[in-house]
Chain A
Amino acid sequence: MGLIIDNTIINNRLFVGTGKLPDYSVIPKMHEELKIEVFAVAVRRINPEINKGYSILDFLPKTAKIMINTSGARNHKEAVKIAEIGRELTGSDWVKIEISGELKYLLPDNEETIKAAEILVKDGFKVFPYISPDLIVAKKLEEIGVSAVMPLGSPIGSNKGIDCETLLKAIINEISIPVIIDAGIGRPSHASKAMELGADAVLINTAIATSNDPFKMAEAFNLAVKAGRIAYEIGLPEEKDYADASSPLIDFIKGIR
């Protein structure tokens, strides 16, 4: 089943970031062949006046959903301004709030993110805040009216996967808006794990962009996300330390008189 965000059905739960890609021409290919629908694009990289063939706008398919992001913003005021410029340039009102608190681990500034979310939601944006996995922050954002929360799995580009499972699980369990795990997912198995945990989608950038073949790696992630989601929907078996008798045997035992 697709993911519904603000009355839009998103069938593909793999969202792809574009900032680190070696070649933008892979974007339309991912859209057409892998049916990836949502692409995250940094507003700071968009300049429509730039010579043809060099602007990312030349490569984004009309039928794709653009999630603009505010990377480079140092505080909520800058994030709001960047979002407004991004909406103007792309026509998309989906905005990922990304306010880095520092650039070494690229950890988001949750406090400024909440302030930006308040303003942008009122301003009519569909807001997707990128946060450190903090349930209280996620709840505040839900109350403000954001469309989804995007907690990190581990720091951006670290490829460490789901490094704070307990905290992510708390968010997935306790809030009712979609949870998109963003950042740190380095392998398809990490993406499967995120989906098995109950994430509604994942956003991948570094792992796809810096692989030897971004398209092929996107394909691998695509399969992994689908697999993880199917398993989650069916319901995963509990892990146990001892062997468990399967049900036909139990029926047989019970049937012995």
Chain B
Amino acid sequence: MLREILKEADEILRKSHVLENKGGNVRKIIDKDKISKEDLFILLTDNSDETLILMANKAKRLTERYFGKVITLFTPLYLSNYCLSPCEYCGFSAKLQIPRKKLKEEEIIREYEAIKQTSIDSILLLTGCDKINTPFEYILYAVKLAKKYFSEISIEAYPMEEEEYRVLVKEGLTGVVQYQETYNEETYKKLHPVGPKSDYEYRLHTQERALNAGVYEVTVGVLLGINDPYEDVFKSILHAEYLSQKYPKAEINISFPRFRDPKTGFKPKYQVNEKLLLRFIFCARIYLPHVGITISTRENSRFRDNIIGYGVTKMSAGSKTTVGGYAQTETTSVQFETDDRRTVNEVINAIKNRGYRPEFTNWIKGGLY
């Protein structure tokens, strides 16, 4: 079913030159109640500032209606930088000769305590794609420990089996973040020829396995820059739509991480500037008014402050992309460079200054099971 939707997207992409000629329709599309897939593509590829402003206004109205004047904050914690996948675009790539580190139990606790001190109540636990150095049991243990500190616990690790997610949900897992990196299968295979990430199909259905296992929310996304961004954003929005139709009670999120140089020498083929990123965010909001949109500290503080109210519902804050780094000063190299390096408190104040309320708690502490 998801495969059919992606095929349909390819059909639309093939006839995109015809669609682009309908540029004059953009205003009408923005005013529509229900936007078709073709319309979405026209909105994504339009390039006028005037319609971008109209889209911003509609995105604001829809965001307020569904989410109110609230931004939920979370912090990511890298548990390990061990990775078996040789992704050239990543600072933790298996190919790189960098010191590897995995947090031990007492280190994890210290990191949790340090993050908790900043008021953060929602955590995202990350590992590399490495079932040997960070096996399921390791992640399970980290989730169990996190339950004592945080009300919302998400993971961004390697794709797992439904049964594994089920065990994690019982221990407090609330969400799964998994980026497809690119939806273009050919590019995907080129970038991930070997290793645990080479199975495009298995990764593609990660969110469904997690939702079948009972997580409350999942996040989809791509790494903007490694493939044609219009194709990738179009398909990731359709993926989010597919999930929200199949799992109407689940909270679906979409994220638009832009490539940030991890100093590996990798040069992305495509550039996504801030204006295009704004367009992508507005399009996602207009097409899927009820879907959450996450923005990370990859983006700078000026961009992040200005986007508040216009589509985004979740922001990371005070983030480190080293392994640990909240409690201890001795850290590893980064997975990618962050741009917004403000403390959680500074981000809280920036949200308040925009007339919004920072929300910390988004689920019931300790879970329901």
A96-128, CB < 8 A from B: 100-104, 106
B180-202, CB < 8 A from A: none
Q: Name the residue on B nearest A47 (C-beta).
A: B361
CA of A51 to CA of B68, assembled, Å: 22
> B290–A103 contact, CB under 8 A?
yes
> B361–A50 contact, CB under 8 A?
yes
User: Is A16 part of the contact surface with B, judged by Cβ < 8 Å?
Assistant: no
User: Is B268 part of the contact surface with A, judged by Cβ < 8 Å?
Assistant: no
> B365–A74 contact, CB under 8 A?
no
Interface segment among A1-9, A20-28, A227-235, A249-257: the answer is A20-28
- A103 with B249: in contact, given A44-B362, A49-B365, A85-B364 (CB under 8 Å)? yes
> Chain A, 10-25, contact with B by CB distance < 8 Å: what is the 0/1 string?
0000000001111110
> A206–B64 contact, CB under 8 A?
yes
- A81 with B368: in contact, given A21-B357, A101-B248 (CB under 8 Å)? yes
Q: Name the residue on A nearest B69 (C-beta).
A: A22
* Chain A positions within 8 Å of B361 at CB level: 44-47, 50, 55
CA of A101 to CA of B248, assembled, Å: 7
User: Is A92 part of the contact surface with B, judged by Cβ < 8 Å?
Assistant: no
Partner of B68, one of A20, A43, A47, A102: A20
- A72 with B69: in contact, given A101-B248, A102-B249 (CB under 8 Å)? no
* Chain A positions within 8 Å of B119 at CB level: 50-51, 54
* Chain B positions within 8 Å of A85 at CB level: 364, 368
Q: Name the residue on B nearest A55 (C-beta).
A: B361
User: Is B70 part of the contact surface with A, judged by Cβ < 8 Å?
Assistant: yes
User: Is A82 part of the contact surface with B, judged by Cβ < 8 Å?
Assistant: yes
* Minimum CB–CB distance for A84 against chain B, Å: 10
CA of A74 to CA of B121, assembled, Å: 22
Partner of A19, one of B68, B121, B244: B68
Partner of B64, one of A45, A100, A210: A210
> Chain A, 183-217, contact with B by CB distance < 8 Å: what is the 0/1 string?
00000000000000000000001100110000000
User: Is B216 part of the contact surface with A, judged by Cβ < 8 Å?
Assistant: yes
User: Is B65 part of the contact surface with A, judged by Cβ < 8 Å?
Assistant: yes
* Chain B positions within 8 Å of A43 at CB level: 364
Number of interface residues of A (CB under 8 A): 35
> Chain B, 352-366, contact with A by CB distance < 8 Å: what is the 0/1 string?
100111111111110
* Minimum CB–CB distance for B351 against chain A, Å: 10
Partner of A47, one of B151, B244, B352, B355: B151
* Chain A positions within 8 Å of B355 at CB level: 22
How many A-B pairs with Cβ below 8 Å? 84
CA of A103 to CA of B363, assembled, Å: 16
> A104–B244 contact, CB under 8 A?
yes
Partner of B360, one of A19, A24, A54, A205: A54
* Minimum CB–CB distance for A30 against chain B, Å: 15
* Minimum CB–CB distance for A108 against chain B, Å: 11
User: Is A90 part of the contact surface with B, judged by Cβ < 8 Å?
Assistant: no
> A103–B368 contact, CB under 8 A?
no
Determine which residue in A19, A101, A210 has the highest number of CB atoms from chain B within 10 A of its CB, and name it.
A210
* Chain A positions within 8 Å of B266 at CB level: none
Partner of A20, one of B67, B290, B360, B364: B67
A sample of 19 more A-B contacts (CB under 8 A), given A22-B69, A44-B361, A85-B368, is A19-B68, A19-B70, A21-B70, A22-B68, A22-B355, A23-B352, A44-B362, A45-B359, A47-B151, A51-B119, A72-B216, A72-B364, A102-B249, A103-B249, A103-B250, A103-B251, A158-B65, A206-B68, A209-B69
Chain B positions within 8 Å of A, measured between CB atoms, are 64-70, 119, 121, 151, 216, 244, 248-251, 289-290, 352, 355-365, 368
Question: 15 pairs across A/B with beta carbons < 8 Å?
Answer: A20-B68, A20-B70, A21-B357, A23-B352, A23-B357, A45-B359, A47-B121, A55-B361, A101-B248, A103-B250, A104-B248, A104-B290, A106-B290, A157-B65, A210-B68
